[in-house]
Amino acid sequence: MDVIIKTATMNDLKKVQELNLKLLKKEQKEYDHLLDLEEDTTKHYKNRISKENGCVFVAIVNKKVIGYLCGKLAKTGSFGRLPSVSVAEIETFFVLDKFRSKGIGKRLYAKFIEWCKIKKVNKARLDVHPQNKLALKFYRKNNFRDYYLTLEKDF
């Protein structure tokens, strides 16, 4: 299987949004029933594709986008870090089920790391639901470690 990993363009916007909706539906069903599936993501993804502080990479098989990774630079010194610390965030990351465990996510992630190095980032971060065991395994295998734990209480 030939897989192309490339930086997304505005031509990829609609497909990235479709994949994002699949991701949100999966996460809403499996982990967080409060996720908003109606939110318009057009401005968000246009900004990540077109602005220097964002990135979107897509995985293509047979001329079809089958996965993507979206990230951004946080403000230097954000998250209570020293003013000299630059952080990049993985915001969303998704590969269609039938293409998982084939190294495609690893290649998208490698493209993100390449982008981080160009941007002179010191740290990468992301949020992941604690019940998403597959994602946790992937990130920990790629040297992410638990840093903060957010707790919630329903009323």
Q: pLDDT by residue (tens digit) across 76-132?
A: 666 666 677 788 999 999 999 999 999 999 999 999 999 999 999 988 999 999 999
Pairing of strands 87-95, 54-61: unpaired
Q: pLDDT by residue (tens digit) across 56-83?
A: 999 999 999 999 999 999 876 666 666 7
The predicted model scores a pTM of 0.91
Structure tokens at 20: 């994002």
Q: For residue 93, with 0-12 CB atoms within 10 Å meaning exposed, 13-18 middle and 19 or more buried, which class applies?
A: buried
CATH 3.40.50.300 fits 4-141, yes or no: no
For residues 11 and 59, is the Cβ–Cβ distance under 8 A?
A: no
Q: Helix, strand or coil for residue 1?
A: coil
The domain locations on the chain are: 4-141
Residues 6+ apart with CB under 8 A from 109: 69, 93, 138, 142
